[in-house]
Amino acid sequence: MNQSNDNAADFNRRDFLKGSTFAAMMTMMGGVQLMTPSASAQTSPPPDAGPKVKVAVIGLGAWGREILDQLGRLEKAEIVAICDNYPAMMRRSATKAPGAKQVEDYQELLKDASIQAVIIATGTHQHKDIVIAALKAGKHVYCEAPLAHTVEDARAIALAAKESTAQVFQVGLQGRSDPQRHFLLPFIRSGALGKPVMARAHWHKKQSWRQASPNSDREKAINWRLTKATSPGLIGEIGIHAIDQAGWFFNIEPVAVTGFSSTMLWKDDGRDVPDTVEAVIEFPGGIRMNYNASLATSFDSENELLYGTDATVMMRQDNTGSKAWMFKEVDSPLLGWEVYARRDNFFNETGIVLAAGSSKQTALIEGAQTQQAPPAHYHALKAFLSNCNEVTAAVADFKASYENADKQALADYVLSLKVGQTPDRPAAGYQEGFVATVLALKINEAATTSKRIEFKKEWFELA
Partner 1 sequence: MKTNTQLTSIKTLVALSLATLFTAGALAEGVRYEPKPAASKCTITGASGDSFMSHDWTMKSPMISGYIEADAKFPESALTDAATAKPTVHVKIPVRTFKSAKSATMDEKMQLMMSVTNCPNVEYRLIELKPKSKAGAVGALHFEAVGTLSIAGKTLTNTMLVTIEKKADTLTVKGSAPVKMTEYGITPRVSVPVLGDISIKDEVKIDFEWQLPKKAATAPAAAPALAK
- The strand pair at 302-308 and 196-204 is best described as antiparallel
Instruction: Give least dist CB 139 to partner 1, A.
Output: 21
By CB under 8 A, residue 422 contacts partner 1: yes
User: Which parts of 353-372 interact with partner 1 (CB under 8 A)?
Assistant: none
Burial class (CB in 10 A: 0-12, 13-18, 19+), 341: buried
State how far the Cα of 57 lies from the Cα of 174, in Å rounded to an integer.
Answer: 17
By CB under 8 A, residue 285 contacts partner 1: no
Give the interface segment with partner 1, choosing from 43-51, 56-64, 103-111, 277-285 (CB under 8 A): 43-51
Q: Which of 37, 123, 191, 194 binds partner 1 (CB under 8 A)?
A: 37
Instruction: Give least dist CB 413 to partner 1, A.
Output: 6
By CB under 8 A, residue 410 contacts partner 1: yes
By CB under 8 A, residue 409 contacts partner 1: yes
Nearest to 122 by CA among 136, 109, 137, 138: 109
- Alpha-helix residue ranges (DSSP H) falling in 299-417: 360-366, 376-401, 407-416
- The strand pair at 53-58 and 343-346 is best described as unpaired
Instruction: Give least dist CB 37 to partner 1, A.
Output: 6
Burial class (CB in 10 A: 0-12, 13-18, 19+), 187: buried
By CB under 8 A, residue 75 contacts partner 1: no
> What are the CA-CA distances from residue 22 to residues 32, 35, 57, 327, 461 (Å)?
10, 10, 41, 24, 41
User: Does residue 201 sit in helix, strand or coil?
Assistant: strand
CB 281 within 8 A of CB 243: yes
Instruction: Give least dist CB 9 to partner 1, A.
Output: 16
By CB under 8 A, residue 424 contacts partner 1: yes
195, amino acid identity: K
Intra-chain end-to-end CA distance of the chain, in Å: 13
By CB under 8 A, residue 401 contacts partner 1: yes
Give the interface segment with partner 1, choosing from 89-97, 220-228, 284-292, 392-400 (CB under 8 A): 392-400
Instruction: Give least dist CB 414 to partner 1, A.
Output: 11
Give the interface segment with partner 1, choosing from 34-42, 188-196, 197-205, 260-268 (CB under 8 A): 34-42
Q: Which of 14, 29, 46, 407 binds partner 1 (CB under 8 A)?
A: 46
By CB under 8 A, residue 423 contacts partner 1: yes
Q: Which residues contact 6 (CB under 8 A, 6 or more apart)?
A: 248, 251, 421
CB 356 within 8 A of CB 40: yes
Give the interface segment with partner 1, choosing from 9-17, 144-152, 156-164, 401-409 (CB under 8 A): 401-409
Residue closer to partner 1 by CB (options 225, 425) is: 425
> What are the CA-CA distances from residue 102 to residues 61, 85, 222, 238, 346 (Å)?
15, 10, 19, 29, 48
Q: Which of 63, 86, 398, 459 binds partner 1 (CB under 8 A)?
A: 398
Q: Which of 9, 365, 393, 462 binds partner 1 (CB under 8 A)?
A: 393
Residue closer to partner 1 by CB (options 76, 189) is: 76
| DSSP conformation class of 44 | S
Instruction: Give least dist CB 31 to partner 1, A.
Output: 14
Instruction: Give least dist CB 421 to partner 1, A.
Output: 10
CB 155 within 8 A of CB 462: yes
By CB under 8 A, residue 25 contacts partner 1: no
Interface residues with partner 1 (CB under 8 A) are 37, 40-41, 44, 46, 49-50, 386, 390, 393-394, 397-398, 400-402, 405, 409-410, 412-413, 416-418, 422-425
